[in-house]
Amino acid sequence: MKLSLHSLLIILAAVITTISCDKKPDKTDERTDAKYGIVVFAGEDLDEEYLLPVNSLTQGELKISENSEKIYSLVMACRAGYYYGIDDGKPVFTKYKPTDKGLVAVAGIPFDKIPWKVYESWYSWVDDRTLLIGSTLAGKQFTYSIVDVVAMKLLSHGNLNIPLPPNGLKYGGVIGAFRDNRLFVGYTHYEGWQSKTPPVDTTFVAVIDYPSMKTISVQKDTRSTWPGGVYLHAPYSFQQEGDIYFLAAPGGRTHSHPSAPSGIYRIKKGEEKLDPDYFFQVTDNKKQETYLLYHLGNDKALVKMIDKDRITKYMDYVNGYLAKYYVLDLKTQTKTLLNLPLSALTFTENVLVENGKAYISISENERESHIWAYDVKSGTLKKGLKVQGRVLLINKLKED
- Spatial separation of the C-alpha atoms in residues 191 and 306, rounded to whole Å: 24
Cβ atoms 263, 246 nearer than 8 A = no
- Spatial separation of the C-alpha atoms in residues 231 and 233, rounded to whole Å: 6
How far are the Cα atoms of 37, 93, 100, 105, 317 from residue 97, in angstroms, in the given order? 11, 14, 10, 7, 34
Does the pLDDT at position 268 exceed 70?
yes
Per-residue model confidence (pLDDT) at position 377? 96
Does the pLDDT at position 13 exceed 90?
no
Does the pLDDT at position 8 exceed 50?
no
Per-residue model confidence (pLDDT) at position 158? 97
Does the pLDDT at position 2 exceed 80?
no
CA 77 to chain centre: 7
Q: Residues 111-139: what's their mean pLDDT?
A: 93
- Spatial separation of the C-alpha atoms in residues 76 and 87, rounded to whole Å: 11
Q: Residues 37-63: what's their mean pLDDT?
A: 94
Instruction: Name the CA radius of gyration of the chain, rounded.
Output: 24
- Provide the Cα torsion 49, 51, 56, 57; round to 10°: 30
Per-residue model confidence (pLDDT) at position 44? 80
Burial of 333 (0-12, 13-18, 19+ CB in 10 A): middle
Does the pLDDT at position 109 exceed 50?
yes
Per-residue model confidence (pLDDT) at position 87? 77
Q: How many CB atoms lie within 10 A of CB 236?
A: 28
Q: Which residues are bridge partners to 144 per DSSP?
A: 134, 158
What are phi and psi for residue 185, nearest 5 degrees?
A: -110, 115
Burial of 14 (0-12, 13-18, 19+ CB in 10 A): exposed
Contacting residues for 14 by C-beta, under 8 A, at least 6 apart:
none
Quick: pLDDT tens for 146-194. 999 999 999 999 999 999 999 999 999 999 999 999 999 999 999 998 8
Does the pLDDT at position 80 exceed 90?
yes
Cβ atoms 72, 139 nearer than 8 A = no
- Residue 27 binned pLDDT confidence (cut-offs 50, 70, 90): low
Per-residue model confidence (pLDDT) at position 28? 56
Arithmetic mean of pLDDT over the chain: 92
Least confident segment among 6-15, 123-132, 304-313: 6-15
Counting residues of the chain whose pLDDT is more than 90, the rounded percentage is 84
Does the pLDDT at position 16 exceed 80?
no
Residue type, 231: Y
**Backbone CA torsion sign across 296, 301, 304, 307:** negative
Per-residue model confidence (pLDDT) at position 1? 46
Quick: pLDDT tens for 378-398. 999 999 999 999 999 999 998
- Spatial separation of the C-alpha atoms in residues 101 and 64, rounded to whole Å: 9
Cβ atoms 385, 56 nearer than 8 A = yes
Q: Residues 188-205: what's their mean pLDDT?
A: 96
Per-residue model confidence (pLDDT) at position 21? 43
Per-residue model confidence (pLDDT) at position 72? 87
Query: What is the total residue count of the chain?
Result: 400
Per-residue model confidence (pLDDT) at position 45? 80
Q: Residues 229-241: what's their mean pLDDT?
A: 93
Per-residue model confidence (pLDDT) at position 264? 98
| Domains of the chain and any CATH numbers | 31-113+348-400 (no CATH), 116-281 (2.120.10.10)
Quick: pLDDT tens for 277-317. 999 999 999 999 999 999 999 999 999 999 999 999 999 99
